[in-house]
Amino acid sequence: MRHGVLLAALVLLAAAQATAQVREVSLDEAVRLSIEHSPELRMGQLDIAKAGDERSGALGMMLPRLTLDANIQYWDKATKVQFIDPDRLPKKEDLGDLGALIPDTFFEAFADLAKPMTVQERVTGSVNIQAVQPLTPLYALAHLYRMQGEAIEAARFERAAKQDQVTYQTTEVFLKLMSALKMVEVTRLAIEQVEAHLATARSFQQAGLVGRDDVLRAETALARVKDQHARVMNGVALARSALNVRMGRPIDDVVVPVGDFPDPPAQLSMSEAQLIDRALAQRPERQAVERKVRMAAAGKQAAVGALIPTLAAVFRYTHFEGSKFQREDSAFVGAALQWNFWDWGNTWFRMKAVSRDHDKARQALDLARDGILLDVRKAWLDLNQAQTSMDAHRTQIEFAQENLRVVTRKYEAATATSVEVLDAQSTLTQARAGYQVALLDYYVAFANLQRASAGTL
């Protein structure tokens, strides 16, 4: 099959620009480039990174929460306090002989108390540092952390499923381009056959053996086959463009698919039952759903934790400047308890709603299993149908070749008409084209079965 495709590629290149650079690409390379270019897979990678960030955030919620707040105030004036009225202070002379016995420093101290004292500066400020360690909420937070871990795995399996899909879609486009190039060869051979018959008809007309109508029929058949050839060439251009887009290459690049695709294909070594068992065990879609079931279970436990009273350990340090009535540095260690013990069932029913999500996720697992079973069965049936179609078209080709040989001999011996020759040629062309379609269907079904069964065949 490879040599025929390369021959058809040469025909294609003859119609391309002379300066165009031809590049051969294998299926493995096409798949690799498509995976590297796929925006869908890059989006999947971002989903994984996002889940990782959310898990890191969930871990932080279990650790002590540190807060810092600071403030500064500029008052209209400083606050001053006068403890003793100076007019009421006793003087030494007022005490008579007793006053002589009292030291002067005593009266000076009282005089100082009579002076206004600043107890708060005009500018005050404080800095507070607080650490809160949740205790009972750790039950719910630990399950939230576990839920985010399952979310990462689910995102990874979902990306793996997308990669399998990208691989299959690229394989399908690759095979369509290869089949289209093979169809170029089929239509080219048809043109050569009709042209040979037209030349024979013209020579017979000149010899007076056939009429002008034989030549006209051959010319009409040639125009029809050339139109089919042009349509096939357009199909090649479209398939090539589609492959270029998937690989992230310029859309007009002239790429030629190469590779060894046996004709006829090799027989499968695994049964349908074995493929189904492998698919159920390894399909990333099922494993992604299993992780979502675990996520829902963790979310249910986290909702149960919301029913538990909230107990947290608290440490607070405060530094204050500008007041005589407050210590500059102070700290305390304590505990805080909060329990929203009655909210008319809001928290309870929220937990029940989350439980429904868990039940729903388990049903989704059964749905995924059923989908995988049908996916493998369809791919298996498509492969068998393509094999049957190939066998039928191979028999048709053998019959059409022999029929064309016999009819051509009869026409040369003037015992068959031009219509019979053209019909025989058309039948052979259709049989060859049908075989190429069946061969394409087989390898596309083969690739789809590999995707559906999560492995190589």
- Chain centroid, CA 79 distance in Å: 67
Number of neighbours of residue 68 by Cβ within 10 angstroms: 8
Give percent of the chain with pLDDT exceeding 90: 56
Rounded to 5 degrees, φ, ψ at 306 are -70, -15
Report whether pLDDT(10) > 60. no
Residue 340 counted as domain residue = no
Question: Residue 2's pLDDT is what?
Answer: 41
pLDDT, mean over the chain: 87
Task: Give residue-wise pLDDT tens across range 352-383.
Answer: 888 898 899 899 999 999 999 999 999 999 99
Label residues 194-224 b or e (16+ Cβ within 10 Å = b). beebbebbeebbeeeebeeebbebbeebbee
Residue 66: strand pairing partners = 131
**Position 448 confidence tier, pLDDT thresholds 50, 70, 90:** very high
Dig out the tokens for 412 from the structure.
């040369």
Dig out the tokens for 382 from the structure.
């498509």
Residue 71 counted as domain residue = no
- Region 287-295: mean pLDDT is 93
Q: How far is CA 364 from CA 285, 359, 361, 386, in A?
A: 11, 9, 5, 33
Q: Which has the minimum average pLDDT: 173-177, 357-361, 412-416, 421-425?
A: 412-416
Higher pLDDT: 148 or 4? It is 148
The closest alpha carbon to 216, from 79, 437, 419, belongs to 419
Q: Which domain holds residue 383?
A: 2-65+136-309+345-452
The single residue listed with the structure tokens 């559906």 is 452
Report whether pLDDT(256) > 50. yes
Q: How many domains does the chain have?
A: 1
- What is the DSSP code (8-state) at residue 137? T
Distance, in Å, from the CA atom of 436 to the CA atom of 430, rounded to the nearest integer, reads 10
Residue 316 counted as domain residue = no
- Region 131-154: mean pLDDT is 93
Distance, in Å, from the CA atom of 16 to the CA atom of 118, rounded to the nearest integer, reads 96
56-57-60-65 Cα dihedral, nearest 10 degrees: 160
- Indicate whether this model's pTM tops 0.85: no
Residue 14 counted as domain residue = yes
- Region 7-13: mean pLDDT is 45
Residue 115 counted as domain residue = no
Report whether pLDDT(108) > 80. no
Residue 259 counted as domain residue = yes
Task: Give residue-wise pLDDT tens across range 172-204.
Answer: 999 999 889 988 988 998 898 889 888 988 888
Task: Give residue-wise pLDDT tens across range 311-345.
Answer: 999 999 999 998 888 889 999 999 999 988 888 88
**Position 116 confidence tier, pLDDT thresholds 50, 70, 90:** confident
Task: Give residue-wise pLDDT tens across range 25-52.
Answer: 999 999 999 999 999 999 999 999 999 9
Question: Residue 157's pLDDT is what?
Answer: 95
Judged on CB neighbours under 10 Å (0-12, 13-18, 19+), 407 is: buried
Question: Residue 82's pLDDT is what?
Answer: 74
Residue 322 counted as domain residue = no
CATH number (domain holding residue 360) = 1.20.1600.10
Q: How far is CA 395 from CA 147, 390, 401, 432, in A?
A: 59, 9, 10, 10
Residues in Cβ contact with 10 at an 8 Å cutoff, skipping those fewer than 6 apart: none
The closest alpha carbon to 111, from 82, 89, 81, belongs to 89
- Region 238-245: mean pLDDT is 94
Residue 112 counted as domain residue = no
Whether 404 and 428 have beta carbons less than 8 Å apart is answered as: yes
